[in-house]
């Protein structure tokens, strides 16, 4: 995937996650598999001065307090992910109330401020919050990449379905990083 | 003003504020004057279990980090306000990217979760971010109160104008607390 | 499917359609197959006084002129659909600029005015504009039905995928009418 | 006012109006006074190929049917306005469900399609729907003009107040046409 665009941003969906729901253990396993790719992408983006924007569930903490959300989510099972995907001091972190990263968030204002027209969408779950975010990006006329090795879903088949849908319907570039 | 409604919430606009703009000193003085009223309202709301929701400028810190915003804003001139208006542990704090508390924020989702239909809007500036928030509340069919002694603007005349407009056009109850 | 709810509305997506795009002929064929079901649902809804709301592409005609849109779309191939699915005098017809029926439309205001909490989503394409509309309905906390024999996509497999996704992720009732 | 910008559009708010509300007769009189200015602006815009976009109340007719809205509004008192301000075949006409021209409408999508960054806002009422539209334009980072002789309110004083507010807070150019 080409991430050299100077009007791009990386969006990381729901990676600070407690995985505490029925299919959480499956999603946790699948998320661990993409962790090296996410780190590689993040490193590359940092080198290229491409902004990195986390959009993340609030876990009932409506207080604009990243640390509380992170502490709430952290547990034995996911600490590897949370430690390795901790936002850097220059990264952006937005809390979202629903599935799409655009709904009820400042994402659109932030992207405008950063002069971003192309969004590289990553994270979990690929067939849910990532897909909703991609849909909303497309309606707002951003071009998108969804690198196939940077999203994870509860089941691989569902992940593939979502990727196909985003490639076909949203013209997403799904080449891996 | 009647704040006993069981479907109400108090919204406090931009009270965590650096007042660092041309007319900031004037607004700071006017904000100090309403501070006792804001505290009285907050106390009453807490007693009545009415939710308190801060919606506040991000000051360029797009990191869902209330403490950073508060630290950034704090200075000799405004510390009295920031200390006294510090959110309590159960209060909500949303960061807004623009003037209205509804634009690019989770406010509407939060109000739905809290079953709120009536919003008591307070804070600064009365003729700008408070007014925009009131407009947006009205379009979303919330009823509103804007207690006249709980908002402040750079100039009293502008504050009065905004109050008149909200009372006449938005059917706001502007009785003081 | 149970459509007797007194807080329901039927939403018909993009049924006034020129089918003039690469996979249009396929979608046209699949749409003809669901036409009897759509008519049955519409008839039932009318009997039960359930509001019927069309949300439809504008086809470049941004003039709030249903007739122009309908005339523009009408051709030899689709006239059966357009004739049979013509909105009745009491039906609502909203023009949408993008894929979701909620994005850039008055749908949410209309649903509030009609006291609707449950949406029965139908129309085309099932894996695109119907899916986007369902996503947005879910984020706005409407419950939804998507009767499986009332949506059509270019390909049956894609239609099934979208139905599965809406059933699993959005708790959509997909029982047929 | 300078309307020669090649990224501008004229927005005309609620000019197709039944004026059937308590202060309607006053607003009607004030609207007649600005009619020559609106016509002059429209003529100039047409010459310069500046798009003209009506955003207008629906009057309970949620059917994307401009003619029905126009017929509903037309009466002895306002027919002069409705006749003279009839949209031309190339003009755009969007129906809005609430006060702001941006809320629940396709205005933002249309402006993007037309590559518009500057909006010349006109129409009625200056201190209500025009003001709300201007607020929303400002939050979406459009620059705005509100020519002072192209808006009307129920009372001149309220009109002046709204103009002052838009000039001071929204950096609106309020020079007359």
Q: What is the pLDDT of residues C110-139, one digit of tens each?
A: 999 999 999 999 999 999 999 999 999 999
Phi-psi region of B99 (alpha: psi -120 to 50; beta: other; left: phi over 0): alpha
**Digit-coded pLDDT (tens) for A52-66:** 999 999 999 999 999
What 3-state DSSP class applies to B93?
Answer: strand
CA D98, distance to chain mean position in Å, is 14
Instruction: Decide if B109 and A108 are in contact by the 8 Å CB cutoff.
Output: no
Instruction: Decide if C64 and D62 are in contact by the 8 Å CB cutoff.
Output: no
- What's the mean per-residue pLDDT of chain C? 95
Query: What pLDDT does residue C138 have?
Result: 97
- What's the mean per-residue pLDDT of chain A? 95
DSSP string, B127-159: TTHHHHHHHHHHHTT-EEE--GGGEE-SSHHHH
Residue D16 structure tokens: 């197709």
**Digit-coded pLDDT (tens) for C27-60:** 999 999 999 999 999 999 999 999 999 999 999 9
Q: Give the separation between CA C3 and CA C7, rounded to whole angstroms.
A: 10
Instruction: Decide if A99 and C161 are in contact by the 8 Å CB cutoff.
Output: no
Tell me the chain C residues in contact with residue A98 when contact means C-beta distances shorter than 8 Å: 139
**Digit-coded pLDDT (tens) for D130-165:** 999 999 999 999 999 999 999 999 999 999 999 999
Which letter does DSSP use for residue B88 in this model?
A: P
Q: Give the separation between CA D120 and CA B6, rounded to whole angstroms.
A: 43
Tell me the chain C residues in contact with residue D105 when contact means C-beta distances shorter than 8 Å: 104-106
pLDDT at A77 over 70: yes
pLDDT above 70 as % of chain C? 98
**Digit-coded pLDDT (tens) for A88-101:** 999 999 999 999 99
Query: What pLDDT does residue B76 have?
Result: 95
Q: With contact defined as beta carbons under 8 Å apart, do C120 and C144 qualify?
A: yes
CA A141, A147, A151: angle at the middle one, nearest 5? 105
Q: Has the ipTM of the complex gone over 0.95?
A: no
- What's the mean per-residue pLDDT of chain D? 95
Instruction: Decide if B63 and A106 are in contact by the 8 Å CB cutoff.
Output: no
pLDDT at B13 over 60: yes
Neighbours of chain B (3+ CB pairs under 8 A): A, D
Would you call C64 an interface residue with chain D, using a CB distance cutoff of 8 Å?
Answer: yes
Residue A79 structure tokens: 């600490």
Query: What pLDDT does residue D13 have?
Result: 98
Instruction: Decide if B127 and D100 are in contact by the 8 Å CB cutoff.
Output: no
User: How far is the alpha carbon of C142 from chain D, nearest alpha carbon, in Å?
Assistant: 17
Q: With contact defined as beta carbons under 8 Å apart, do D36 and D176 qualify?
A: no
Q: What is the pTM of this model?
A: 0.94
Query: What pLDDT does residue A138 have?
Result: 97
Nearest C-alpha in A relative to B88: A63
CA C164, distance to chain mean position in Å, is 18
pLDDT at D2 over 70: no
**Digit-coded pLDDT (tens) for A121-143:** 999 999 999 999 999 999 999 99
pLDDT at A19 over 70: yes
User: For residue B13, how many C-alpha atoms fall within 13 Å in the half-sphere facing its CB?
Assistant: 29
pLDDT at B2 over 70: no
Would you call C153 an interface residue with chain A, using a CB distance cutoff of 8 Å?
Answer: no
Q: Quick one: pLDDT band at residue A6, thresholds 50, 70, 90? A: confident
Domains of chain B (ranges; CATH) run 8-170 (3.40.50.850)
Query: What are the φ/ψ torsions at residue A54 (nearest 5 degrees)?
Result: -85, 135
**Digit-coded pLDDT (tens) for B38-53:** 999 999 999 999 999 9
Query: What pLDDT does residue C6 have?
Result: 83
Which letter does DSSP use for residue A74 in this model?
A: -
Residue A165 structure tokens: 């849908």
What 3-state DSSP class applies to A24?
Answer: helix
pLDDT at D3 over 90: no
Q: Give the number of A-B residue pairs with CB atoms closer than 8 Å.
A: 69
pLDDT at B4 over 90: no
Would you call C96 an interface residue with chain A, using a CB distance cutoff of 8 Å?
Answer: no
Query: What pLDDT does residue C1 have?
Result: 57
pLDDT at A1 over 60: no
Phi-psi region of C31 (alpha: psi -120 to 50; beta: other; left: phi over 0): alpha
pLDDT at B61 over 60: yes
């Amino acid at each position: 995937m080409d991430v050299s665009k100077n009007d791009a941003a990386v969006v990381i969906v729901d990676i600070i996650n407690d995985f505490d729901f029925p299919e959480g253990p499956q999603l946790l396993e699948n998320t661990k598999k993409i962790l090296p790719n996410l780190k590689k992408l993040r490193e590359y983006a940092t080198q290229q001065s491409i902004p990195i924007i986390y959009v993340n569930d609030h876990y009932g903490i409506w207080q604009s307090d990243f640390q509380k959300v992170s502490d709430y989510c952290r547990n034995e099972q996911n600490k590897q992910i949370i430690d390795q995907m901790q936002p850097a001091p220059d990264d952006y972190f937005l809390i979202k109330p629903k599935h799409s990263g655009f709904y009820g968030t400042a994402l659109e204002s932030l992207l405008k401020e950063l002069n971003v027209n192309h969004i590289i969408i990553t994270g979990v779950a690929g067939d849910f919050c990532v897909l909703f975010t991609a849909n909303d990006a497309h309606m707002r006329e951003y071009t998108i990449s969804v690198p196939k090795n940077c999203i994870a879903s509860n089941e691989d088949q569902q992940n593939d379905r979502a990727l196909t849908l985003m490639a076909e319907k949203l013209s997403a570039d799904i080449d891996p990083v």
